[in-house]
Amino acid sequence: MTASTANGRRFREFKMPDVGEGLTEAEILKWYVNVGDTVSDGQVVCEVETAKAAVELPIPFDGVVHELRFPEGTTVDVGQVIIAVDTAPGSGPVAGEPAAPAAVPAEPEAPAAPERQAVLVGYGAAPSSTKRRPRKAAAQPSSVTAAVQAELNGHTAAAPAPAAVPTVPAPIAPEPAAQAASGGRPLAKPPVRKLAKDLGVDLAAVVPTGTDGVVTREDVHAAATARTAPAPAAEEPAAVAAVAAVAAVAEAPAAGARETRIPVKGVRKATAQAMVASAFTAPHVTEFVTVDVTRTMKLVQKLKDDPDMAGLRVNPLLLVAKALLVAIKRNPDVNAAWDEDNQEIVRKHYVNLGIAAATPRGLIVPNIKDADAKTLPELSAALSELVTTAREGKTGPAAMSGGTVTITNVGVFGIDTGTPILNPGEAAILAFGAVKLQPWVHKGKVKPRHVTTLALSFDHRLVDGELGSKVLADIAAVLENPQRLITWG
């Protein structure tokens, strides 16, 4: 962050920060401000994508946007100035400079972006700030994203992301005077602002109970509970149709075109590099087993009807995850990593369970920290949170680091099984195939039973055939007879 002064005016420059674990560059996905817009400390001005995740960048000072240095879709090195802000806009123009230079041409027809909140630690809202960020007219993105993005690991194929267009959202009108006069920008910490955004609560309408008039999480929850008008469900089909139309335009080739080139960058580029490194570094072995999971499917239904599981996500994946955790408990050597530098096998005494998820930006593998220490309801809640975060495209770098073993749910695509590639740094990955009703010999008779195929890929440097077979056999045994969750767990 730098500053310069000319003719009584002070300009402060905001540089591209290192938004995650030593990464050297990031792509500007979206600008949420335009030249001439007023910004305040803690306000999100743009969204960028690194090789790990999409991250929102808040600006750490007040002023008026003087210049946007790069258009959307540009990859910028860490340390480069991306935006300049005039912190003394009333001092008049600087001699020899245009009043409001713009590096990016504005397009009036570009849709206004929804309000976004800060996510980086250290950029909290300043208590002295008195200006609220203007509200956008567009609908919140969560409903659109949730409608088109895959259920955990995708229920539908994700469309290629449309090529970025160098545009800046058109200037928007400020809030009504009545809101501006209601006491200024409400005081709240960034996590509370995010909670209010997720619940659709206007912080200006919340009665604060915290010290010095700060809005607390309890205040937001109370305001959300007090609301009587639910969000209109009729907006969802329209949102889905709109996004489907955009996807169709993005996929349609130009007239006469015989091929389309899509730049590989961000998460998709990092995933490609990681998969190549994994495939040609770790000697993969994959084993398969087909198992009768009829009892597991019956247990899933019973858990859905159980009052103790009310409000929680209960599906076959939950019990597959629990079965894998039981198998790891019985065979702890599979939960390990290979240290090439020291030529050591590092056995992990905790399980960070990764769940592969397909998103429009590419494949990501967020993980549930200490999954082995969670009860079934806690594991269900953690899976639900992981799904919601992945749907909204808000999975952060921390959630995707430190994994020890992974599940990829290819069954949601109707696929029986596959040979999954290991997530780098892990010793095993389990593919869960589609559950189908098939003829099966049960108690000496051919009957229709729910059957699935599991595939376990493992690093043969750490896991030999005997250990890998034991792990896969234990998973299958639990799913065939889920009472083993109690006797073995």
Mark whether 460 is an active-site residue. yes
How far is the C-alpha of 423 from the C-alpha of 337, rounded, in Å? Answer: 11
Furthest C-alpha separation in the chain:
93
- Phi first, then psi: what are they for 24, rounded to 5°? -100, -10
Nearest one of 120, 107, 139, 93 to 31, comparing CA atoms: 107
Which of 284, 349, 442, 460 does the annotation list as catalytic?
A: 460
Which of 389, 403, 391 has its CA nearest to residue 119? Answer: 389
Rounded Cα–Cα distance for residues 354 and 336 (Å): 14
The pair of structure tokens assigned to 330 is 């019985």
- Residues 360 and 382: their CA atoms lie apart, in Å, by 22
How far is the C-alpha of 69 from the C-alpha of 439, rounded, in Å?
64
Q: Which residues contact 205 (CB under 8 A, 6 or more apart)?
A: 223
Residues 6+ apart with CB under 8 A from 393: 54, 145, 149, 359, 360, 361
Beta bridge pairs of residue 445: 442
Q: What is the C-alpha end-to-end distance of the chain, expressed in Å? A: 53
Q: Do 291 and 435 contact (CB within 8 A), yes or no?
A: no
Q: Look-up: residue for tokens 């019973």?
A: 302
Angle at 455 between CA 450 and CA 461, to 5 degrees: 160
Task: Kindly list the catalytic residues.
Answer: 460
